[in-house]
Every structure is written in structure tokens, then in C-alpha cells.
A and B are shown apart, each in its own frame.
Chain A
Amino acid sequence: MRLLHFADLHLDAPFAWARPETARLRRSNRRETLTRILKLADEERVDAILCAGDLFEHDRVTPDTIAFLRESFARTDRPIYLAPGNHDWYSARSPYALEEWSPNVQVFTDARLTPVELSDGLTLWGAAHRAPANTGPFFADFRPDRGGVHLAVAHASERGALPFQEPEKELHAPFEAAELDAAGIDHAFLGHYHVARDRDRYTYPGNPDPLVFGESAGRGVVLASVAADGAVTRERRVVAVSQVHEVTVTLDGCLHVDDLRDRVSQAIAGLAGSVRVTLSGEVPSDLPIEPRALSALGDHLDGLVVRPGEIVPSYDLDAIKAETTVRGQFARDALLIADEDRQRKVLITGLRALEGRRDLEVA
């Protein structure tokens, strides 16, 4: 039995950092990613496709996206098993309930594991989130009512894996890894954690298309082969359409804006997709740094975000704060500001004002 497992596509999720056209492109990339996933399933001739939740975002999903899903799923004959997650929870108002899906699509609708016979002696158990939060454990008290090999597909959080996830990640339908063993689940194909994770009894494929900057590698889909004894062998495939790059540009030695632009342009020259540039280093105090203006350098990219990092203007602050001048007094007072970012901005703003400069907004 060969399965294709994916999760957390998050169709129609917003991109708060992006310009409208970039955001639309990124959402379009998600759809294309699904197309790649389904194509891969055909190429690999898998017996079934498992989606472990967060296929789309219930609060944002557009009719067009639902139409796209419906038609995409209808184009393949392979069974598709959907286990709604906390972002695409199942309800009477859910597209899962309202749309007429092709016969090859089966949506798990109960908040408890229910079975589907994949083949003789091989049972797939699936469950659904029926609310955006407070979904309880699926595996804690679960015991199969039959023999054979038991697989599961669900949107659930293995507690032990939480520290390896993005900081803001929350637990939904939490469980302990040992519960799978106790429940007699040979392998659980899961979603929710975006950082890919393979363990003996469970798999998190990770989000197949990048959602944010700085994501770890290895995310995509999992091609799983299930042996007769329930043993699972996995193969990871990258299906992402979006390219996302995190770049740090050191500005040391930049003496003027052209240097700065050249430095950023060189850093992003060979890249494609979405790029986030973080500026750092020591720069002349009078070097104007305008991230928004620098974002225009990424015309060849899907999106370019330039943000200031550890930028140190080359003020001789020791000398300045030793002055008996207003500037010295100001510098001494400004350096007392606890918040470092605020301190930096106030200090530079004041010094620039005293220099008679007009570029008083500090990035």
C-alpha cells in the first residue's frame, strides 16, 4: 500500500508582509503546489492520498479556491482522505459539508477516529476538528474494534515535538507518542506541525509550500509504503512552488547609498521567489537607509522585504557622550533608554537633527 501524505497547505492564508500582488502570487503558488502533489500521486501511482488537515483556511477560503479543490480532486481517480484541522474545521457551514465532492473524496467528519477499510486487513482511521480550537485528544482512549494494520490520519499535536516547532505554535488535539502504541495505531500520518518530523509511529510532512520566511528544510510531502506488518517506509519529496530566501546583508564599508544598493542587489541577484533581506553592520552615521526604497530592487522577485537588523551608525558615541555640549548631554540621556531599538532610534534621530540632517526617520 503506497500513500501520499501531506498537510498544512493553508490555502487562502494571508501574507501580512507582502504587497497585494505578491500575496496573490503566493496564494496562487499554494494552489499550484496542490496540483504538483496530485500529479506526484499519479506519477507514483499511490493507492491513496492523505491530507492531515489545514488544507484551507475556513475563515478566508474563497469560492474560487473551493471550486479549484473540487475540480482538482475530481481529476484524479485516487482515493483522497481528508481529515479537517483547526483551520479548516468541519461544520455544517464548512465547504467540506456544503460542496459536492467527487466520489473519490472522503472527508472524516467525526471528532473521533472512524474507520475506512483501505484493503483487506488495513484500516485507516481518521478524525476531524469540528471547531477552530479546543479539540480534544484523538488517541488517548482509542482502541480499534478490529484486527489488522491500523493507520491514522489526523491534525494533532504530539506534545514532545512542540519545542521543535515555531515559537507561536499551539497544541491542538494533543497526544503523547506513547498513546499511539497504546491505541494500537501502527502509524499516524499527521498535520499541524509545520516543521517536518519523522518518528517510528508518526510523520509530520511539514507545510508543502513555504508560509513564512526562514522555514527549515525538509518540508513537503511524504510517500509512504505500508508493509503487511504495518511497517512504514517514507520518502520525502519537495513540491513547493514558492521559493523563499532569508538573506543577511552586511553593510560594513558602505559609504553611501549606492554602496548600500549595490550590496543588496548583489545579495539577491541570483535568487528567485520571495526574499527577506536583513541589513546589519556598521555604517556611516550619515548613510540614509530606507528599507522601503530598497524593496524596489527586487523587481525580478516575487517579493522583497528589506528590514533593518543590527545596524550600527558609525557615531563615536564615546566621544559624543563625553562632550559638554547639548549633543553630549542628549547622547548620555538617550543611552539610558532601556529599549535598545528605541534607544538606537532616538539617539540617531537626535544626532541627525543636531547635524542639521533631514533624514530623521531611522529604520
Chain B
Amino acid sequence: MLVVILLLLAAPFAAALVSLRAPARVTQAVTAVTGVGCFALVLALVPAASQHDLAYLSYLRIDAVSVVFLLATSFLYAAVAVYSIGYLARSRDADPGFARYSRRLYAGLNLFAWTMLAAPMMSNLALLWIAVEVTTVISALLVAIEDTDGAAEAAWKYILIASAGLGLALLATIFAYYAGAQVLGAHYDLSFAPLLQAGGRLPHTPVRLAFGLAVLGFGTKMGLVPMHTWLPDAHSEAPTPVSALLSGSLLAVSFYAILRYYQVAVAALGPRFPRDVLLAFGVASLLLAALYLFDQRDVKRLLAYSSVEHMGILAIGVSFGAPIALAGVLLHVLAHAAAKGNAFMGAGVLVRKFGGKRISAIGGGLDLLPWSGPLFGIAVLALCAMPPFGIFRSEFEIVQGGLAASSNAAAAVLIVLVTVAFLGLSITVNRMLLAPRPGGQAAGGAAALTRGEPSTWMVVPVVAGVAALLVLGVHPPAELTGLLARAVHQLGAAA
């Protein structure tokens, strides 16, 4: 297993180094192979992690919870690595700066994936913070990579807001150390496992502070309202492969960090305080995002607000605390990664086809794009929790958990707001896919678009995503249910 883990840590980094030197074609192949390979490696971890925790070299620790997040990240990494081949295909001939752009994008993508794969493997809250901080700086550069005013603005807002947030998360780390050192002695090294074991002996005030600051700090990166303001900007201005990774993986990794603090807080303080905090942030996120979904003019901003919505659902799900709700939350992380990755990749094809992100300029997608049109529609339906896709199952479990925990009011609020979000999302997307293209006929030949896909490479990963969503929704494999059961036990064991 150690070999698998070291390979997971080394491969994306090596791919990033290759991207800096090799010609574009080699880079594309290497990145695609690395992405798919990483996903395979994580799959190889699943059986072992569902049996016992893996701890190596004193800084690596992988348990079932980490593997869930590794699965989400590596799946998207693979999808995005393949998708990028098609994404960059057109600009290759047209743009003289292509080689430079491609080199930077690929090096950034690989490094970004590397840090996001590293974060859930850390055994130590300090290293976890560092990994998350490094994801921020790399992704900020990736957001700025498109040489536009919007990208520069989004990147600046992102790095400033996220860094300030992570400053609070660093304070959380320091207070976690203080709490741990009271029980475990001054040479405590911020390892996670002993902190969790110390549990009820930890002093309450610093743990409370640490948890609150962690939710504020990592919550900034997770996109919880009201710290979400960077998120729609960064998601809409970044190149599509980066948007998909930001939304499906980066937010999840930040959520992972919050989950670790949640475990400690539950062990030390009991479930009440951490759940109340998460419920408040979750409902605020869900409410605001659901309302914002009605009034979006930019397709990628629309999907970004949908991410805020889903992060709210995750926070609410954890606040329910019932085992079935926690299982739903972890499944939701996986399903959201697949669905949101698909939606962004589909939106990327629409943007390419119609030459812009403005929703008003997009229409008749179903006719013009024989594959991506329907696939985008499916991705959005999956995001709205339509059966038979994974998010239906996960949200169903979360609601069921809410009722089981007798949080009836919160469960009802959740259902109402998810329905509102469904309306907002589906109305807009219907317009893009079914309604005829505004002005398309009137503008005459120049504006007329021919039916066809820009690139097969941009379709293949989306088909894989739909397959994953179907598997998660219809019949999750036994290995996965075993993994989730163990992860739920770890999250709930302290409760």
C-alpha cells in the first residue's frame, strides 16, 4: 500500500515537471495517463481502507474518510486530463502563444491535482493546512491564466479572500495545537489521531475556538455563505478544466478539512455545538445560492452558485449527525464531483460552440450538439437530484437522516430550498438547450452554427461521469458501501 500512496504523491508532481519541458502532445498524453492512473491507484486503496487505517512515515495517514475525498479528486483529475486535450485543440493552430499557455495550464493542472490529492493523506492538521494553502496559491494562478480583465480581477479577489480565510484556519490550527498540548504535552506535533483519542479530556474553550475558526477559514474556501464571494468569480473566469476541478475537488478538500475539525469538536465538546454551527452556515448557503440561481446571466456563474448550494447541503447533512445522513454526505461528495464536473465540462462545450458564456446568447443546444447538449442536460438534472443519479440517492439519505435525527424543521427547509434551486437551475438550462437560439436565424449565414461536436475528447469524460453517476445512483458497488460504512463509523464513532 505504501507504494501505491507514494506513487499517488509522486505521479502528478512528475507530470507537472514533464509539462514544463515536454512538447504539448507529450504533455497531453502524460497528463491523461497520470490522471487515469491516479484514479486507478485510489481505487486500489479502497479495499484496504475499508478494513483498517493506513499510516506511514509518520506524516501519512489514510482512513476511509480520506479515501472518499481522494476518489472524488482523482476521478475529476482523470476526467479533466482527458477533457483538456479537446479543450486546447482549437487554440493550437490559431494562437501563437499556444505553447506557453498550454505549458502553464498543464503544469498548473497537475500541480493543483497533486496538492489536492496530498491534502487528505496528511496525518497532521498543520500539514493539512499547508496543503490546502498550496491549493489556493496554485489555483489562483490558474484562475489568472486566461489573459483577460475578468480573470485578473477574479484571481485577485480569490487569493485575497481565500488567504485571509486560511489565516483564520491557521489560527484554528494553532488553537488545536494549544488544546492538544494541554493533554498530550508540549511536544505534541498536531497529529490528528492522538487529538481525536484525547477527545473529552481536551479543554473546551480552545477546541470551540478552533472549530469555529476552522469553519470560518476552511469554509471560506468551501464557499459557505457569507464567505463565498470569491467563488462565482473564480469559477466563471477560470478555464473550464480548472473550473471543474475547483468546484468538484477543491471545495470538497476544504470540506474535508472542516470534517476533521468536526470530528475533534464532537469528541471534545459533544455533538451539539459543532452541529449548530454547521447548520447555520449550511442553511445560509443553501438559501442564498438557491435564490441567486434565478438571476444568472453567465452559465459558469450559474454552475458556481449551484456549487454553493451543494456545499450548503453538505454542511446541513453533517449537522443532522445521523449515520444515514453522514453516509449521504460522503456519497454526495462523490456524486457532486461527478455531476458538477460534467456540468462544467458540458458548459465548456456550449461556451466553445456559441462563443461566449452569456446565457442569452446560448440556445438550441440540444439540436446543435448531438452529444454534449443532452449530456449537459443530464448533468444538470443530476445536479437537481433527479433519479436515477447519485445525487438523488445522497440527498434522499441526507433528508432521511434529518428525519431520523428528528431535525424535522431543518429537513423541511432543506427540501424546500433544494426545490427552489431546482426551479432556478432547470428554467435557465431549458432555455439554453431547448429554446431556439436567439437571433441565430436573423443574423444570417455568418452566425449560423452547424450541428456537431467541437471535439470527441470533450465528450468521452462526460460519458464516463454519467456512468459514474448511474452507478452511484442505481447500485453502488459493495466495496464502496463498505468504504462509506467505515467512514461513517469514523465520523460518527465519537458522537
Q: Do A and B come from one complex?
A: no
Residue numbers of A with Cβ under 8 A of B are: none
Residue numbers of B with Cβ under 8 A of A are: none
